[in-house]
Chains A and B, each alone.
Chain A
Amino acid sequence: MLRLINPQQEFLRYRRRMEIAGGIAALLFVGLFIRFLWLQVVQFDHYHALAENNRIALVPAPPSRGVIYDRHNTVLAHNFSASTLEITPSKAGKLEETIDRLSEIVAIAPGDRRRFKKMLAESKNFESIPIRNLLSEEEAARFAVNRFRFPGVEMKARQFRQYPLGEGFAHVVGYIGRIGEKDQVRLEEENLAANYKGTDHIGKLGLEARYETWLHGRTGIEKVETDSGGRAVRTLSRTPPVAGYNIYLHLDAKLQQVAEKLFGDYRGSLVALDPRNGGVLALVSKPGFDPNLFVDGIDVATWRELNDSLDRPLINRALRGVYPPGSTIKPFMGLAGLELGVRKAGDTIADPGYFTLPGSSHRYRDWKKDGHGMVDLKRSIVISCDTYYYGLAQQMGIERMAGFLSHFGFGKKSDIDLDGELSGLMPTPAWKKKRFKQPWWPGETVVAGIGQGYVLTTPMQLAVATMTLANQGVVYKPQLLRAWRDPATNKLSYAAPQIVERMHFNPEHLRLVTEAMVDVTRPGGTASIAGANTPYQFAGKTGTAQVIGIKQGARYIESQVHARHRDHALFISFAPADNPKIVIAVMVENGGHGGSVAAPIARKVTDYWLLGKLPEVYTPSEPEAAEAEEEEDSPDAGLHSPVPVTADALIEGGAQ
């Protein structure tokens, strides 16, 4: 099929085809132009925003956390700065490989990898996660040189929290730890999450938790231009962070250390309060633990060891240890008897060594087998006569007893500025009915009279009750916080003492009880050895709390009892009795007798506080020197300082 080709025809067909092709091309270009119109005009805002998002990163600038000082500006918690290496997973490519390559430059321990993996699993993709903390200068320099090889890996200067005094202060200062899921949920609920961008630690315990909002500060924001590797190219604008408040405590670090040392190997707790304002001078819970372990995640083995230890170092005994108050309840019972008119000062009883309820043969024994003979109220406190209080309690009745004692804070939280406090127990028939669905038995009132049975207190409650006695009825809320400084204004503000209740007692009754307590530490009293030769009036009361019940007719013989079943030794005190400056409650777990174990601790702590006298067992380890503070504005100014000042000057001055 040969075709005749007319060149003219052929050329026309070529032209037509070319026009068609050209037309199609033109149409396609128009299509492109429409696409450009769509992207660059209609969708411009959208893409503009995306480009800005690409380009501009809002980098949170975490504030530096407030420092915690004791009353003499001794640092209890502070920060130091160190370099970390952090990886942004979304920008780092293959993580394993990146880490392997990094490990050629800086040491990366298997633990670092484990922690990284754990945090990676918990994190969001765009956050940077530390792979190595505390880089040495050499390592930092080596990474800086090799930085270009590691997109998505950055060296950051981070602040680390440190507790220079360690173990003895863990229960007061607490610690910060990584923000966990629960913390995150709480922060989001409280609308604080934004302020925690860039911060990865939060107060978990103690003051660190209680004053978290103050200590944390306000996060700043830096607007930076970043390249696709996430590296900041330049800073566009910056809202600087505002550091957290520095807080200053009533606590005296040295006093606390003195008290702690005095416990020796015993477990227990000591609370020292300033009766003039409720300031907490010392809050010891032995054993303690090193809070520094918790800051960057404690390892499982160490945690288990702490948590499973029979010594329970993680429990703050001052607030969460509940013990029967034993005989330390007697001064309050005595005052109750007088105030409620159940007893008069001169009323005496004959103590045969036991007490029986009418119509019962059950003997409630006195600690002294043969009894104390004739006992009046004052003597009942001095010699700690049980029989006197068995009878008194029975006459008073549990309702009236609970009603009176609860004004001293028994069975109520002290509301100290720490979390997790337990309220102890001041039992009533109503409580028992609710709790056990059982009626109240008269015998239960009898044993409550000597602080046994259902009655439970924390060392903090005992201290608050004793402070109330020392203050003639004024109940202060115990406070650790004395002052705080807002770094933005550099203004120092003081925490005002808070009066919870002001009771009015007959001064005669108060004087009688106080005199009895002073006599406790004098010859003939249960703490006469501990109280020997005090140059001040030392009012105290011993107590011994049973850990296990002793059968009828059996006797408690200390040497035959398992060490952990021995009685708890208790002692409460205030001094000087005529112008109290320090109130102490001591509890020594399984310490045996209050007079022989607990009272000497209180005596020596009081000696130190009032006289500046260091006990012999105390080998001084100087707390870290306070940071230089401007003199006149320092919260230290005019404060009681036990060591260099003479006793007389102390007793006269120092009031605030």
Chain B
Amino acid sequence: MIPQLLRQFFRHLDGPLIGLLALLLLASVSVVFSASGENGDRLYSHLSNIGVALAAMLLVSHIPPQRLMQFALPVYVIGILLLLGVALFGVLVNGSRRWLDLGITRIQPSELMRLALPMMLAWFFHYKQETLRGRDFFFAVLMLLIPVAFIARQPDLGTSLLIAASGFYVLFLAGLSWKVIAGAAIAVGSALPLVWNYLLHDYQRQRVMTLIDPAADPLGAGYHIIQATIAVGSGGVAGKGWMMGTQTHLDFLPERSTDFIFAVFSEEFGLIGNLFLLLLYAAIIWRGLQLAAGAPSLFGRLLSGAIVLTFFTYAFVNMGMVSGILPVVGVPLPLVSYGGTSMLTVLVGFGIVMSSATHKKLVKT
């Protein structure tokens, strides 16, 4: 009786994916513990974040895609309105307007867009699947650009690019013409000098310059990159051992339990650990893409595919940033970094992936 209930309870979860995610979360717990300097509170809070996010994932896996689809448009519209609110009434923190003060709590509407945008676009293509025309791609691009432009204006270039990427994945998987992709690439490429000169803020330009020559400002902007690269490089093949990272434990690494946690991992577990981590990520992505491809609905396929590819993007950008080949943008290492929001968003995303793959084919509307 009880086993049957349990099976019922977990029936929308995918065993192999859950196993891989669990492995990654295990790694996360150990690194966060090390990075926080054996801080029990931090560990406890991390574990409860994971618990909450896993529960949310389980919950979401029970929501059938057709129900989810109903949320796509309203959530997107609310998101746009909130972004408009941020632009008008947002709270200025560190020179950028990202937060909206609702009186009770502050929210960051750009976080909502991480899921709302691909959901909206997936729903749009699903809705149009019988009658898709070229100009629908034009509308889709518009739907993508509106929130991206808002977020870029905040300014939060990193987030806006990542959200643009998640939207682009939907378009790409939906069959955006190669000509358009090539045209857009050329257009972006030729606009880069203009963007560099007129649209980028000084601190953003500095981040890019710092990437090219971190030593120019070793105690300022270059400090993060230099110390992170030292941590990664000094890890060597086998690493310094868990809890033995000198860069970590002697306070040289900044942001070491959040955005720079990969440096901690690299320092303590070395190249072997990194290989293991890359393979783990690759396996999760592989399994995710398999599930996405197996989803019965177009909505499910597009959304799941975009979620998995976005997951890849975050992992890649974060590791690239920590190892000094990408500029410093505020991107956590998905499922490893300490931080509740990111944990929740990513696991809810995988909940959607699993839900889309396991719910029966919809009746066409």
A20 to chain B, nearest CB (A): 8
Q: Return chain A residues, CB-CB under 8 Å to B274.
A: 33, 36, 40
A505 at interface, CB cutoff 8 A? no
> A29 to B289, alpha carbons, bound, how many Å?
16
Closest to B247 in A: A51
Closest to B288 in A: A22
A35 at interface, CB cutoff 8 A? yes
Q: Return chain A residues, CB-CB under 8 Å to B172.
A: 17, 21
Closest to B286 in A: A22
Q: Is the CB of B232 within 8 A of A39?
A: yes
Closest to A36 in B: B274
The interface-forming segment of B9-17, B64-72, B142-150, B234-242 is B234-242
Please report which residues of chain A, range 12-69, place their CB below 8 angstroms from some CB of chain B when the two chains form the complex: 13-15, 17-18, 21-22, 25-26, 28-29, 32-33, 35-37, 39-41, 43-44, 46-48, 50-52, 54-55
Could you say which of A3, A18, A21, A54 contacts B250, with CB atoms under 8 Å apart?
A54
> A46 to B92, alpha carbons, bound, how many Å?
42
Q: Is the CB of B246 within 8 A of A32?
A: no
> A51 to B301, alpha carbons, bound, how many Å?
46
Number of residues from B at the complex interface, CB < 8 A:
50
> A28 to B131, alpha carbons, bound, how many Å?
36
Q: Return chain B residues, CB-CB under 8 Å to A348.
A: none
B210 at interface, CB cutoff 8 A? no
Q: Return chain B residues, CB-CB under 8 Å to A40.
A: 232-233, 235-237, 266, 270-271, 274
> A14 to B176, alpha carbons, bound, how many Å?
11
Q: Is the CB of B234 within 8 A of A17?
A: no
Main secondary structure of the interface of B (DSSP, over half): helix
Please report which residues of chain A, range 204-230, place their CB below 8 angstroms from some CB of chain B when the two chains form the complex: 225-229
Q: Return chain A residues, CB-CB under 8 Å to B131.
A: 2
B157 at interface, CB cutoff 8 A? no
B230 at interface, CB cutoff 8 A? yes
Closest to B252 in A: A228
B96 to chain A, nearest CB (A): 23
Q: Is the CB of B231 within 8 A of A51?
A: yes
B38 at interface, CB cutoff 8 A? no
A310 at interface, CB cutoff 8 A? no
B308 to chain A, nearest CB (A): 9
Closest to A17 in B: B173
> A50 to B225, alpha carbons, bound, how many Å?
13
Given contacts A1-B134, A21-B172, contact A32 B319 (CB under 8 A): yes
Please report which residues of chain B, range 255-293, place their CB below 8 angstroms from some CB of chain A when the two chains form the complex: 266, 270-271, 274-275, 278, 281-282, 285-286, 289, 292-293
Closest to B313 in A: A25
Q: Is the CB of B309 within 8 A of A47?
A: no
Given contacts A3-B133, A18-B289, contact A29 B282 (CB under 8 A): yes
B19 at interface, CB cutoff 8 A? no
Closest to B302 in A: A14
Q: Return chain B residues, CB-CB under 8 Å to A340.
A: none
Please report which residues of chain B, range 185-236, place their CB below 8 angstroms from some CB of chain A when the two chains form the complex: 219, 227, 229-236
Q: Is the CB of A54 within 8 A of B292?
A: no
Q: Return chain B residues, CB-CB under 8 Å to A25.
A: 282, 285, 309, 312, 316
B320 at interface, CB cutoff 8 A? yes
Q: Is the CB of A55 within 8 A of B169?
A: no
Closest to B218 in A: A90
B297 to chain A, nearest CB (A): 11
Q: Return chain A residues, CB-CB under 8 Å to B232.
A: 36, 39-40, 47
B130 at interface, CB cutoff 8 A? yes
A9 to chain B, nearest CB (A): 10
A233 at interface, CB cutoff 8 A? yes
Q: Is the CB of B250 within 8 A of A48?
A: no
B39 at interface, CB cutoff 8 A? no
Q: Return chain A residues, CB-CB under 8 Å to B289.
A: 18, 21-22
Q: Return chain B residues, CB-CB under 8 Å to A29.
A: 278, 281-282, 316
A630 at interface, CB cutoff 8 A? no
A10 at interface, CB cutoff 8 A? yes
Please report which residues of chain A, range 222-255, place their CB below 8 angstroms from some CB of chain B when the two chains form the complex: 225-229, 233
Could you say which of A3, A22, A28, A50 contacts B234, with CB atoms under 8 Å apart?
A50
> A25 to B311, alpha carbons, bound, how many Å?
11
Could you say which of B219, B247, B285 contacts A54, with CB atoms under 8 Å apart?
B247
Q: Return chain B residues, CB-CB under 8 Å to A227.
A: 250-252
B362 at interface, CB cutoff 8 A? no
B323 at interface, CB cutoff 8 A? yes
Q: Return chain A residues, CB-CB under 8 Å to B324.
A: 35, 39
B175 at interface, CB cutoff 8 A? yes
Interface size class of A (residues with CB under 8 A): 35 or more
Residue of A1, A32, A227 with most chain B CB atoms under a 10 A cut-off: A32
A145 at interface, CB cutoff 8 A? no
Q: Is the CB of B235 within 8 A of A229?
A: no
B325 at interface, CB cutoff 8 A? yes
A5 at interface, CB cutoff 8 A? yes
Q: Is the CB of B309 within 8 A of A51?
A: no
Q: Is the CB of A35 within 8 A of B325?
A: yes
B332 at interface, CB cutoff 8 A? no
Q: Is the CB of A46 within 8 A of B281?
A: no
> A41 to B270, alpha carbons, bound, how many Å?
10
Q: Is the CB of A21 within 8 A of B237?
A: no
Q: Return chain B residues, CB-CB under 8 Å to A46.
A: 233
B48 at interface, CB cutoff 8 A? no
B65 to chain A, nearest CB (A): 16
Q: Return chain B residues, CB-CB under 8 Å to A47.
A: 229-230, 232-234
Given contacts A10-B175, A233-B250, contact A18 B234 (CB under 8 A): no
Q: Return chain A residues, CB-CB under 8 Å to B246.
A: 51-52, 54-55, 225
Chain B 114-151 per-residue mask, 1 if CB under 8 angstroms from chain A, else 0: 00000000000000011111100000000000000000
> A14 to B125, alpha carbons, bound, how many Å?
13
Q: Return chain A residues, CB-CB under 8 Å to B298.
A: 10
B276 to chain A, nearest CB (A): 11
Q: Is the CB of A48 within 8 A of B323?
A: no
B169 to chain A, nearest CB (A): 7
Q: Return chain B residues, CB-CB under 8 Å to A39.
A: 229, 232-233, 323-324
Q: Is the CB of A48 within 8 A of B129?
A: no
Could you say which of A17, A35, A55 contacts B175, with CB atoms under 8 Å apart?
A17
B327 at interface, CB cutoff 8 A? no
Q: Is the CB of B271 within 8 A of A36?
A: yes
> A593 to B320, alpha carbons, bound, how many Å?
92
Q: Return chain B residues, CB-CB under 8 Å to A22.
A: 285-286, 289
B109 at interface, CB cutoff 8 A? no
Q: Is the CB of B316 within 8 A of A51?
A: no
> A13 to B227, alpha carbons, bound, how many Å?
45
5 pairs, CB–CB < 8 Å, chain A vs chain B: A29-B316, A40-B266, A50-B233, A225-B246, A225-B250
Chain B positions within 8 Å of A, measured between CB atoms, are 129-134, 169, 172-173, 175, 219, 227, 229-237, 246-247, 250-252, 266, 270-271, 274-275, 278, 281-282, 285-286, 289, 292-293, 298, 301, 305, 309, 312, 316, 319-320, 323-325
Across the A-B interface, the 8 shortest Cβ-Cβ residue pairs: A47-B233, A51-B234, A39-B233, A228-B251, A227-B250, A40-B271, A47-B234, A227-B251
Q: A3-B133, A55-B247, A226-B250 are in contact. List 16 more A-B contacts (CB 8 A).
A: A18-B289, A21-B305, A25-B282, A26-B282, A29-B281, A33-B275, A33-B278, A39-B323, A44-B233, A44-B234, A46-B233, A51-B233, A54-B247, A225-B246, A227-B252, A229-B251
